Structure 1
Amino acid sequence: MGLTLNSYINALMCVIMILLPSLCYCQDAYVSSRATYYGSPECYGTPTGACGYKTYGSTINGGEVSGASYKLFKNGSGCGACYQVRCKYATHCSEEGTKVVVTDHGEGDKTDFILSARAYNKLALPGQEKVLFSYGVVEVEYKQIPCQYPGYNLMFKVHEHSKFPTYLALIPIYQSGVSEITAVEIWREDCKEWRAMRRAYGAVWDMPMPPEGAITLRFQVSGSKWVELKNLISSEWKAGATYDTAIQLA
């Protein structure tokens, strides 16, 4: 039986509605802002920071990282987000600019980004780097892009502040895509219920007196979907240990 004109239109509208979110995302306009930079002896990002990434935060993405303004830091849920940033001076700035990962919180003179020296350097055309550094603050435009970590799954690292067995802090690393982890919970077998971890700061989630034995946890993605990871954390966990989830976020 052939389709009527109305049914054909309705079917076409359904296809458009399904594709619309991805189409909108791909065509998102750049947002105008300002950016500055902070220095370090090796031009990498700071080894400390409001996200809690420690050394990972200074070297991830080849050291092209950024501190973000409060509106992009999002009380910590913006940690790990990736952005395309490019400056707006035709005679000095490259067309592509730089791709940065948010690892810290910081604001300057009406800036949304405080870039590592390596990232700031990428804003410039060859031979124009010194000019941009002399400005100190530059006009930029940016948009969020999916993070990509080829060869890596999402991992949960036992934060260095953890103390076995009385205090457990976890931080997700190598988180791809554009999704945010908005909640983390641990299964209490003795109580037969999920117990929420606290967002201690940045991307760090913690819990005093965690359950004994291997730890099953689940996390919420962008406020909706829950992902469960059974017995992810070893019963003999220790600070600095990293656990592979065998999954990756879109």
Structure 2
Amino acid sequence: MGFLTLGNYINLLCVIIILLPSLCYCQDYYVSSRATYYGSPDCYGTPSGACGYKEYGSTINGGEVTGVSKLFKNGTGCGACYQASIAENHQLINVRCKYSQHCSEDGTKVVVTDHGEGDNTDFVLSARAYNKLALPGQAEILFSYGVVDIEYKRISCQYPGYSLMFKVHEHSRFPQYLALIPIYQAGVTEITAVELWQEDCKEWKGMRRAYGAVWDMPNPPEGAINLRFQVSGSKWVQLKSLIPSEWKAGATYNTAIQLD
């Protein structure tokens, strides 16, 4: 076996540095955690979650949604998708081994729509999502525990037939105040900044992250609005005249694109 020369060592080091971001970004491993659940009369998620999704947040992904604590990331984590399953190396495996007919190996896929935590939990699942942790007809036993040990990993969000959309938040007031919220955001990327083109001063003006996934701006530009957003802190995506001049609160505008 030959020895590395200084030049080869530097080249190898550069390759490792280039590969590291992609290796770290894809979460192929499971993380140990705990989960509880919150209930609602129809078993869907809450429509008033901290992400600001309103009714969208209670019905997206069939109501299999979650509130999170540290994964909320001041709202940047809103819309992220996770795969959660019963942990193999925690307390519940003892229950599975003894009552294996109750526990599902598939787990549940959830979308982050809220901020919340329980008894040292990272996830507060909707009743529908929590139900998916058990085999059909066996959920009552898991509900009786209240808190269960799980494993989770980040997965790509998938919305077949839907493009990324920007919804004008219901609290917007034309023309004095505009608040936007991205919905049907696929892939594993995160929107970290949103800017509007200010024609009078020929520059992009940043919107404020008001809370959760909601971005807002007082006195937005007049006329049709050009918008751009930053994906995961690097790539910018620009959309010309996405928001019409006579925009309305509650209206949804299709970008005709989707994130990876």
TM-score (norm 1): 0.91
Compute the displacement of 1:216 (Å). 0.4
| Amino acid across the alignment from 1:160 | E
Count of aligned pairs: 244
Alpha carbon RMSD of aligned pairs, Å?
A: 2.2
Compute the displacement of 1:93 (Å). 1.8
- 1:236 maps onto 2:242 in alignment: no
User: 2:6 maps to what in 1?
Assistant: none
User: 1:220 maps to what in 2?
Assistant: 230
- 1:166 maps onto 2:176 in alignment: yes
- Encode CA deviations 1:65-114: one digit per residue, 9 max, x unaligned: 00011x20000000000000012333232111000000000010000000
Compute the displacement of 1:128 (Å). 2.0
User: 1:4 maps to what in 2?
Assistant: none
Compute the displacement of 1:23 (Å). 6.6
The correspondence of residues 62-101 of structure 1 with structure 2, limited to 5 A, is 62-69=62-69, 71-88=70-87, 89=92, 90=96, 91=100, 92-101=102-111
The answer as to whether partners of 1:86 and 1:93 remain within 8 angstroms in 2 is no
**Distance in 2, Cα, partners of 1:149 & 1:73:** 21
**2:220 aligned to 196, 210, 214, which one?**
210
The answer as to whether partners of 2:45 and 2:63 remain within 8 angstroms in 1 is yes
User: 1:142 maps to what in 2?
Assistant: 152
**Distance in 1, Cα, partners of 2:118 & 2:107:** 20
The answer as to whether partners of 2:194 and 2:227 remain within 8 angstroms in 1 is yes
Three-state SS of the structure 2 residue aligned to 1:56 is: helix
The answer as to whether partners of 2:27 and 2:153 remain within 8 angstroms in 1 is no
User: 2:42 maps to what in 1?
Assistant: 42
- 1:133 maps onto 2:143 in alignment: yes
- Encode CA deviations 1:147-189: one digit per residue, 9 max, x unaligned: 0000000000000000000000000000000100000000000
**Distance in 2, Cα, partners of 1:125 & 1:105:** 27
**Distance in 1, Cα, partners of 2:180 & 2:24:** 34
The answer as to whether partners of 1:52 and 1:202 remain within 8 angstroms in 2 is yes
**Distance in 2, Cα, partners of 1:26 & 1:156:** 26
Three-state SS of the structure 2 residue aligned to 1:213 is: coil
The percent of aligned pairs where both chains have the same amino acid is: 82
Compute the displacement of 1:27 (Å). 6.6
Change (3 A) 1:24 1:61: same
Three-state SS of the structure 2 residue aligned to 1:199 is: strand
**Distance in 1, Cα, partners of 2:251 & 2:158:** 23
**Distance in 2, Cα, partners of 1:67 & 1:158:** 23
Does 60-69 or 83-92 show the bigger shift? 83-92
User: 1:111 maps to what in 2?
Assistant: 121
Compute the displacement of 1:29 (Å). 1.4
User: 1:123 maps to what in 2?
Assistant: 133
Compute the displacement of 1:28 (Å). 2.0
Three-state SS of the structure 2 residue aligned to 1:152 is: coil
The answer as to whether partners of 1:182 and 1:221 remain within 8 angstroms in 2 is yes
Does 121-130 or 36-45 show the bigger shift? 121-130
The answer as to whether partners of 2:171 and 2:179 remain within 8 angstroms in 1 is yes
**Distance in 2, Cα, partners of 1:128 & 1:140:** 17
Compute the displacement of 1:22 (Å). 5.9
**Distance in 1, Cα, partners of 2:147 & 2:179:** 36
Three-state SS of the structure 2 residue aligned to 1:175 is: coil
Give ranges in structure 1 of 5+ residues lacking alignment.
Answer: 1-10
**Distance in 1, Cα, partners of 2:215 & 2:20:** 34
User: 1:151 maps to what in 2?
Assistant: 161
Change (3 A) 1:151 1:14: farther
TM-score (norm 2): 0.87
